[in-house]
């Protein structure tokens, strides 16, 4: 496993990290989830990402129990705040950040998180209030560093322009061969200001694994067939795109990689990406994905892959 510095922090995070969206505490049984977590540590993964809203606290609770036997300094733990936890509890106000942070720490069974992230931008709370709350959280020792997820460039810049507040070190956008939106504004802005990317859905929710045949139903047991985990995949399960993904298989083979490894290596080719978050329901998936770290791929293969996927996404 290779490691990269997370923005201007002193955190060295594994290039592949383990996430828990739609999986642990929700769509994956506890024993399988524990096996995945153990496989992650075996592979050298030291960065675990979750959020309070995943399973309305269930993912954090699982991790709090599963990590209890491990030394706290043996892993880097990140969680997030913003989405509704009840009819009244949501957003990034000072009171909500303080309340939700304490609740997350209790579920995670820890005194601090290494990275606390704004899960989205809160248009109903002044940015100054949000940043004051995050600055207080760091000063309290409950949070080491702060980040955000899916903030537009103008909001990132507005936060950078504030004085006397703690600075962000991470951005968590969706980014993959089939979703390259951050390249236009977010990645350049962050790279210039000591903020790294922690990428979610680098495999396009499994589509870039190549396991979905456009001419056959999704295989049993895959995310696309899961009621708990497949609800976000409709826009990706388009025959034209799936055929384009199938056309990547010879390129991955030429690179000496599996399809998931090829897609992860493509994401990690970007220097501003510190880590790619994987989701896994089986420990074998964790081991396979972790092996993408440090892969060296001919840029010409990536260029061909980009052209193939662009054609598959074209109207």
Enzyme catalytic residues: 54
Cite the DSSP H helix spans in 67-126.
94-108
**Cα–Cα distance measured from residue 220 to residue 22, given in angstroms and rounded to the nearest whole number:** 17
**Cα–Cα distance measured from residue 252 to residue 96, given in angstroms and rounded to the nearest whole number:** 45
Taking 3-state DSSP, the helix, strand and coil percentages for the chain, each rounded to the nearest 5, stand at: 40, 15, 45
Q: What distance lies between CA 165 and its chain's CA centroid?
A: 25
User: Rounded to the nearest 5°, which phi and psi values hold at 12?
Assistant: -105, 105
86 CB neighbour count, 10 Å cutoff = 7
Residue 7 tokens, joined = 């923005």
**Cα–Cα distance measured from residue 22 to residue 232, given in angstroms and rounded to the nearest whole number:** 10
Residue with tokens 């957003």: 91
E strand or H helix at 169: strand 168-171
């Amino acid at each position: 496993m290779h490691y990269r510095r997370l923005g201007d922090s002193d955190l060295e995070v594994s290039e592949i990290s383990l996430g828990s969206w739609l999986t642990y505490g929700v769509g994956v049984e506890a024993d399988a989830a524990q096996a995945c977590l153990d496989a992650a540590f075996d592979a050298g993964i030291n960065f675990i990402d979750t959020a309070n809203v995943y399973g309305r606290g269930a993912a954090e609770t699982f991790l709090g129990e599963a990590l209890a036997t491990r030394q706290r300094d043996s892993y880097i733990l990140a969680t997030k705040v913003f989405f509704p936890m009840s009819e009244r509890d949501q957003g990034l106000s000072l009171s909500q950040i303080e309340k939700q942070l304490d609740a997350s720490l209790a579920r995670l069974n820890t005194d601090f998180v290494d990275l606390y992230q704004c899960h989205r931008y809160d248009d109903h709370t002044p940015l100054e209030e949000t940043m004051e709350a995050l600055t207080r959280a760091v000063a309290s020792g409950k949070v080491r560093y702060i980040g955000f997820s899916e903030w537009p460039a103008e909001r990132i810049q507005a936060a950078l322009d504030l004085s006397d507040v703690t600075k962000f070190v991470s951005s968590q956008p969706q980014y993959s061969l089939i979703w390259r939106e951050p390249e236009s504004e977010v990645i350049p802005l962050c790279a210039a200001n000591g903020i790294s990317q922690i990428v979610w859905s680098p495999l396009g929710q499994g589509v870039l694994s190549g396991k979905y045949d456009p001419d056959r139903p999704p295989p049993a047991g895959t995310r696309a067939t899961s009621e708990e985990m497949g609800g976000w995949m409709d826009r990706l399960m388009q025959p034209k795109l799936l055929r384009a993904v199938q056309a990547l298989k010879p390129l991955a083979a030429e690179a000496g990689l599996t399809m998931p490894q090829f897609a992860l290596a493509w994401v990690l080719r970007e220097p501003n990406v510190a880590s790619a978050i994987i989701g896994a329901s089986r420990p074998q998936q964790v081991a396979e994905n972790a092996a993408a770290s440090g892969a060296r791929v001919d840029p010409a293969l990536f260029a061909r892959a980009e052209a193939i996927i662009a054609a598959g996404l074209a109207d």
